[in-house]
A and B are shown apart, each in its own frame.
Chain A
Amino acid sequence: MSRQSLTKAHAKISELTWEPTFATPATRFGTDYTFEKAPKKDPLKQIMRSYFPMEEEKDNRVYGAMDGAIRGNMFRQVQQRWLEWQKLFLSIIPFPEISAARAMPMAIDAVPNPEIHNGLAVQMIDEVRHSTIQMNLKKLYMNNYIDPAGFDMTEKAFANNYAGTIGRQFGEGFITGDAITAANIYLTVVAETAFTNTLFVAMPDEAAANGDYLLPTVFHSVQSDESRHISNGYSILLMALADERNRPLLERDMRYAWWNNHCVVDAAIGTFIEYGTKDRRKDRESYAEMWRRWIYDDYYRSYLIPLEKYGLTIPHDLVEEAWNRIVNKGYVHEVARFFATGWPVNYWRIDAMTDTDFEWFEDKYPGWYSKYGKWWEEYSRLAHPGNNKPIAFEDVGYQYPHRCWTCMVPALIREDMVTEKVDDQWRTYCSETCYWTDAVAFRPEYEGRPTPNMGRLTGFREWETLHHDKDLADIVQDLGYVRDDGKTLIGQPHLQLDDPKKMWTLDDVRGNHFMSPNVLLNQMSDEERVAHIADYMANGTKSSS
């Protein structure tokens, strides 16, 4: 369809809306934002007549590549180190995708602009596409990759795992609470516009370097839909900015959304890229370098900063602190070490780091070896059962961390941990911003103004609480992370499948008692707690040796 006829067609389609006079659509999902003074912003033009054939063509390419991968024996060259992490990633991501579909009526309810409703409804269908195409990719991995364990229980594992819960924020945040906070600022303005770059572009690049060209095929196809979604988000953001009353809420939501996305996405994708790859060329970009390019330059400098002239308060300090955490505070490395510490309760296997990896990390992140090298050597030493416990229960100078109540990634930059009594419970937070999110932002009042539509933090937020004071073998069995012989664990701290004696079983992990840090913290006296926190925070400056 030519541009001229597309414009004409779009104008015609816009005639389909009308101002209701008998009854107005139900408002199921409220917002504290106001759009009374908002100018109508026209989003990217999209009509179904061109949309469906376009997506069908994209699908044909994806499925053609899938067939080709099978015929070409792609799995002969896939790195297990890489594909194991996909058991985690692909268990998480279909839920945020389908949540994005479910979020669209929230935005439609909130924004009185029929022009944009059409674009949002098209986005809904896109997101159904993304969710199901990703589930199908995972099924292909399960069918064709050497070790299907973990892929085979994917959605159950996602729903009961500590890392799955971290990822679940990336979906639940889209569909709950204030409709604009959730479906516009958190989902579209921050998650889709900023972080899909690392999710759907940077990470597939790394997949290809590890012999997997299906992840790029699927995710680049997904990413090609995102520009329309970004346009939806931008239009709504400009409408919100037109009303002065929205400014404090926008400032609040940009801070929450930016920081939570950083905490969650950088933890996961940073780990997959840095610790899931076998490509250790020195001129290969590190996650920090990718982040600088995709997030700092392309998003922060090119998208966010220009919005200042429209009155948006940009969280400059939090952008700089996110960068600081990645490049100076070892955020990604800490998360990777935490995931590896928890290997018995994972549904994927984590490869040890070798000298080649050490050299690359030291080159990219000077000082890495002195902080993390010894721990990874211990990880290799303790990789097999028989003479030792899982590394989490051995003395390797690593204290199991407190969980951040807000972002649910543990407080791994220990010197930054905040401990406060909130809602009559001692809670730990990874940062001041996560504390603020719980104590200030997600409340029914903000800066003296009622915010009844803002969401609440709910649920059993510390995963460890559910498993407090239990034997590790019982926890693994309860979670279902056991292979089909009824005893071998799905998670293993190595990739060796050729020798059954090297694979840990329930009997090998039995006898290790697991305690929840938060339950213990709340049982302490004031003096004990102060001493414990001081010790915990000081531990962050020590090397792991």
Chain B
Amino acid sequence: MADITDQKERSFPKIEFTDSEAGALTFPSSKSRTYNYYKPAKLRATMYEDVTVDVQPDPERHLTQGWIYGFGDGPGGYPQEWTKAKSSNWHAFLDPNEEWEQSIYRNNSAVVHQVELCLKNAKRASVYDNWNTSWLKFIERNVGAWMHAENGLALHVFTAVQRSGPSNMINTAVAVNAAHKMRFAQDLALFNLDLSEADVEFDGAAHRAVWQEAPEWQPTRKVVEQLTAVGDWAELLFATNIIFEQLVGSLFRTELVMQISARNGDYITPTIVGTGEHDYDRDLGYTRALFRLLTQDEEHGAANKELFGQWMSTWVPRCLEAVRALQPIWSQPAEKAVTFATSLENAKSKFSFVLEDLGLDIPKELDQ
């Protein structure tokens, strides 16, 4: 029986009723219950605006003492000079996806559950057993190679860019973009792992050699590596999300994998790749909003358009070179549901639509 005579007296804080609720008293500012240091885009501030706007200070707004640490060779903080693009008000950009922590985890968890369920069902139904050799080879080589591109963009494009933008809204949108890319790259890698563990002819290690040596993928790897070498954050974002993703990324994902998988008896790959498409749709949304703001800027719009034209003259040929090199993979599956010419035409057409939306001229290089 427990000894109850030697119980140590417990010490705990005493709760006191203080009546410190909103509305308990009326006094100056007792009803001031909105963040009042910025003007929301609409009448009422959104949750996204409240948790994002002005968290990264700016000497042009409320920061009176300036940045208190500088780099060895220049100012600290978030200098606007880190890109050649110019804006009359960088803070006017708001992410149309309104990403903040709840949306990040809810959306990505939903994707994770979807992908996991899909892969579990695939295993249970032994669907890989019915895939033909040429399709398995297509996945092994090409989806295997593509996951490297996604991972490289995650770590060395989007993660890098989110240090450099001049507003918290820009940097947070880009950080979420990085998370999308990381998750998608990893999902492709884990799909590759599942296939290599299935009782089918699938070399789970082949992707490395394909990405690093196969002639059809080298121009794509080259342009990804060239992207990571760009120092100007806006150029990097423009070249990646507006040009590379439209001409190379969407060409491979939307115009090839999503179109031909079903005809090859595969409903797993498009489910996974579809999540990457969904991510890109969101990420293209914020990118368009940002660059539309820059092309429509009353003061700097014309100069920005000229600048973006220069960027296109650099990156469109590089991406088209990558695209042309990929042409042979259209012939690899047994069921060739779509031709390279059709896919490329679709990709170019969508790219042109994005450029028109931004008010940019279609680059002459696109016709080459």
Binding site for B on A (CB under 8 A): 8-9, 12-13, 15-18, 20-26, 28-30, 47-49, 52-53, 55-56, 59, 63, 73, 75-80, 83, 94-95, 98, 101-106, 108-109, 117-118, 120-122, 124-125, 128-129, 131-133, 135-136, 139, 142-149, 152-160, 165, 168-169, 172-173, 175-178, 208-211, 278-279, 281, 283-284, 408, 444, 451-461, 463, 466, 483-485, 487-488, 490, 497-498, 500, 503
Interface assignment of B104: CB less than 8 Å from any CB of chain A: yes
Q: Are A102 and B162 in contact (CB under 8 A)?
A: yes
Please, which residues of chain B bring their CB within 8 A of the CB of A175?
76-77, 163
Q: Is the interface on chain B under 10, 10 to 19, 20 to 34, or 35 or more residues?
A: 35 or more
* Bound Cα distance from A278 to B17, whole angstroms: 12
Q: Are B160 and A105 in contact (CB under 8 A)?
A: yes
Q: Are A16 and B115 in contact (CB under 8 A)?
A: no
Q: Are B18 and A77 in contact (CB under 8 A)?
A: yes
Q: Are A59 and B105 in contact (CB under 8 A)?
A: yes
Partner of A458, one of B24, B52, B68: B68
Number of A-B contacts (CB under 8 A): 366
A165 to chain B, nearest CB (A): 5
B243 to chain A, nearest CB (A): 16
Interface assignment of B221: CB less than 8 Å from any CB of chain A: yes
Sample of 11 more A-B contacts, CB < 8 Å, known A49-B115, A49-B116 = A12-B193, A16-B186, A26-B230, A49-B112, A75-B22, A105-B163, A124-B179, A455-B72, A459-B65, A497-B27, A498-B25
* Bound Cα distance from A108 to B73, whole angstroms: 20
Q: Are A456 and B70 in contact (CB under 8 A)?
A: yes
Please, which residues of chain A bring their CB within 8 A of the CB of B77?
172, 175-176
Q: Are B65 and A152 in contact (CB under 8 A)?
A: no
A126 nearest in chain B by CB position: B101
A456 nearest in chain B by CB position: B70
Please, which residues of chain B bring their CB within 8 A of the CB of A56?
105-106, 109
A275 to chain B, nearest CB (A): 16
Interface assignment of B67: CB less than 8 Å from any CB of chain A: yes
Known: A139-B35, A139-B50. A461 touches B65 (CB 8 A): yes
* Bound Cα distance from A145 to B57, whole angstroms: 26
* Bound Cα distance from A487 to B28, whole angstroms: 9
Q: Are B57 and A168 in contact (CB under 8 A)?
A: yes
Q: Are B64 and A154 in contact (CB under 8 A)?
A: no
Please, which residues of chain A bring their CB within 8 A of the CB of B312?
none
Please, which residues of chain B bring their CB within 8 A of the CB of A146?
19-25, 30
Partner of A128, one of B14, B29, B172: B172
Q: Are B175 and A101 in contact (CB under 8 A)?
A: yes
Partner of A52, one of B57, B102, B108: B108
Can you report 25 residue pairs joining A to B where beta carbons are below 8 Å apart?
Answer: A25-B156, A48-B183, A53-B109, A56-B106, A76-B18, A76-B20, A121-B159, A122-B182, A125-B104, A128-B172, A128-B175, A132-B52, A132-B172, A133-B101, A135-B55, A145-B21, A146-B19, A148-B30, A155-B62, A156-B61, A172-B77, A458-B70, A459-B66, A483-B32, A503-B27
* Bound Cα distance from A148 to B30, whole angstroms: 6
* Bound Cα distance from A408 to B148, whole angstroms: 46
- From 41 to 71 in chain B, residues with beta carbon under 8 angstroms from any chain A beta carbon are 47, 50-57, 61-71
Q: Are A22 and B226 in contact (CB under 8 A)?
A: yes
Interface assignment of B280: CB less than 8 Å from any CB of chain A: no
Interface assignment of B100: CB less than 8 Å from any CB of chain A: yes
Binding site for A on B (CB under 8 A): 11, 13-25, 27-38, 47, 50-57, 61-73, 75-77, 100-102, 104-106, 108-109, 111-113, 115-116, 147-148, 151-152, 154-156, 159-160, 162-164, 168, 171-172, 175-176, 178-179, 182-183, 185-187, 189-190, 192-193, 204-205, 207-208, 211-212, 221-222, 225-226, 228-231
Please, which residues of chain B bring their CB within 8 A of the CB of A500?
27-28
Q: Are A160 and B62 in contact (CB under 8 A)?
A: yes
6 A-B pairs with the lowest CB-CB distances in the bound complex, closest first: A156-B37, A483-B28, A209-B13, A149-B29, A135-B51, A159-B62
B226 nearest in chain A by CB position: A23
Q: Are A177 and B71 in contact (CB under 8 A)?
A: yes
* Bound Cα distance from A23 to B224, whole angstroms: 9
B362 to chain A, nearest CB (A): 27
* Bound Cα distance from A483 to B23, whole angstroms: 16
B299 to chain A, nearest CB (A): 25
Please, which residues of chain A bring their CB within 8 A of the CB of B176?
125, 128
Partner of B15, one of A9, A211, A455: A211
Please, which residues of chain B bring their CB within 8 A of the CB of A176?
67, 69-71, 76-77
A441 to chain B, nearest CB (A): 12
Please, which residues of chain B bring their CB within 8 A of the CB of A49?
112, 115-116, 183, 186-187, 190
Residue from B30, B63, B64, B69 with most neighbouring chain A CB atoms (10 Å): B69
Q: Are A145 and B226 in contact (CB under 8 A)?
A: no
A438 to chain B, nearest CB (A): 12
Please, which residues of chain B bring their CB within 8 A of the CB of A128?
100-101, 104, 172, 175-176
Q: Are A278 and B16 in contact (CB under 8 A)?
A: yes
B38 to chain A, nearest CB (A): 8
Please, which residues of chain A bring their CB within 8 A of the CB of B212?
18, 21
Please, which residues of chain A bring their CB within 8 A of the CB of B205?
15
Q: Are B35 and A152 in contact (CB under 8 A)?
A: yes
Q: Are A18 and B208 in contact (CB under 8 A)?
A: yes
